[in-house]
Amino acid sequence: MTKVQVIATLVAKEDRLEEFKQFINELIENTKSEPNTTVYDVYQHAEKPNEFHFVEEYNSKEDFDNHTGYLKSKMDILQPLLASAPTIIPLKKFASASK
């Protein structure tokens, strides 16, 4: 099975930032119940507080598709909170110094 890694960037509207954070906290709680999501870390940009980067890893493309399917089902809530369209960058691990 080939793991799937992505970095997703979401930018919240500045006047909807608190609502966006609430949405992300709920998304994280749901993601914890996904057994084949092995990494799901959310980082807030240190200088642009409305910009968030998601580092994600899934056991398979099917697991990634299941997660994105859930997210798509919530787009009616998420879309009004976003300043721009999300970007998703697929990754392929090149090297690691992780311990």
pLDDT at 4 exceeding the cut of 90: yes
Pick among 3.20.20.370, 3.20.20.70, 3.30.70.100, 3.40.190.10: CATH of 4-91: 3.30.70.100
For residues 61 and 97, what is the distance between their CA atoms, to the nearest angstrom?
25
DSSP per residue over 60-93, as a string?
Answer: SHHHHHHHHHHHHHTHHHHGGGBSS--EEEEE--
pLDDT at res. 98: 85
Give, as one character, the DSSP assignment of residue 15: G
Please report the pLDDT score of residue 91 as a whole number: 96
Averaged pLDDT for residues 65-72: 92
- Residue 76's pLDDT is 95
Measure Cα distances from 84 to 58, 72, 90 in Å: 25, 16, 19
Distances (CA, A) of 42 to 12, 38, 55: 14, 13, 6
pTM of the model: 0.92
Average pLDDT over residues 8-22: 98
Burial class (CB in 10 A: 0-12, 13-18, 19+), 4: buried
pLDDT over 80 at 31, yes or no: yes
Per-residue model confidence (pLDDT) at position 90: 96
Domain ranges of the chain: 4-91
pLDDT of residue 99: 86
Determine the pLDDT at residue 77: 96
Is the predicted pLDDT of residue 75 greater than 90, yes or no?
yes
